């Protein structure tokens, strides 16, 4: 009983200390929705069709959902985000049991160079490569499987970009 008397306050102190750095709202110090952002269409430098449009749309939707920034409707946002899709790569993960050379599952990776600038001053806020990935089960048709996995890939990349922008660790 005596050990419990010392154990419970110690446990409570450790639990409260773990929550001491938690902040409610945006972590970058600005008020949610204070700044607006314009997302320009991504430039696709890969051979994968429709990738630029999917990634741009997914980033816009993710930024709206996040709430740290307002999405500018007329292209006059405080922050302008652009991206260049530099790499789209497929890597075989699992292979057919009947044919060791034919992949059954792929990991698809995309690398986008993202820049964010303040519209008024032209100050560069973000200039880095951001990665996204998803897993694809091929089935009978690789093209259909990749087309169906494109929203998942775009959403993962959009989540990563939004996280970087919202944290403000520029």
What is the reported pLDDT for 27? 52
Beta bridge partners of 25: none
What is the reported pLDDT for 93? 86
pLDDT, tens digit only, all 170 positions of the chain: 666 566 666 666 666 665 555 444 555 556 666 889 999 999 999 999 899 999 999 999 999 999 889 999 777 899 999 999 999 999 988 877 787 777 888 999 999 999 999 999 999 999 999 999 999 988 778 788 888 999 999 999 999 999 999 987 55
Any alpha helices (H) in the chain, and if so which ranges?
2-18, 51-66, 142-167
Residue carrying the six token digits 């990776």: 109
Residue ranges and CATH numbers for the domains of the chain are: 30-167 (3.30.160.150)
Q: Hey, what are 21's tokens?
A: 């750095």
For residues 83 and 68, is the Cβ–Cβ distance under 8 A?
no
Burial class (CB in 10 A: 0-12, 13-18, 19+), 66: middle
């Amino acid at each position: 009983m005596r050990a419990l008397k010392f154990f419970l306050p110690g446990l409570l102190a450790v639990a409260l200390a773990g929550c001491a750095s938690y902040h409610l709202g945006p972590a970058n110090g600005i008020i949610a929705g204070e700044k607006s952002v314009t997302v320009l269409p991504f430039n696709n430098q890969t051979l994968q069709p429709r990738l630029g449009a999917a990634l741009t749309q997914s980033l816009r939707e993710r930024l709206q959902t996040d709430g740290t920034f307002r999405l500018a409707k007329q292209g006059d946002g405080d922050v302008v985000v652009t991206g260049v899709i530099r790499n789209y790569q497929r890597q075989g993960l699992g292979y057919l049991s009947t044919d060791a050379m034919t992949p059954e599952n792929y990991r698809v990776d995309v690398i986008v160079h993202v820049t964010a600038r303040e519209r008024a001053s032209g100050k560069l806020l973000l200039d880095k490569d951001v990665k996204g990935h998803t897993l694809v089960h091929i089935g009978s048709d690789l093209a259909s499987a990749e087309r169906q996995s494109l929203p998942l890939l775009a959403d993962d990349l959009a989540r990563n970009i939004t996280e970087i922008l919202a944290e403000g660790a520029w």
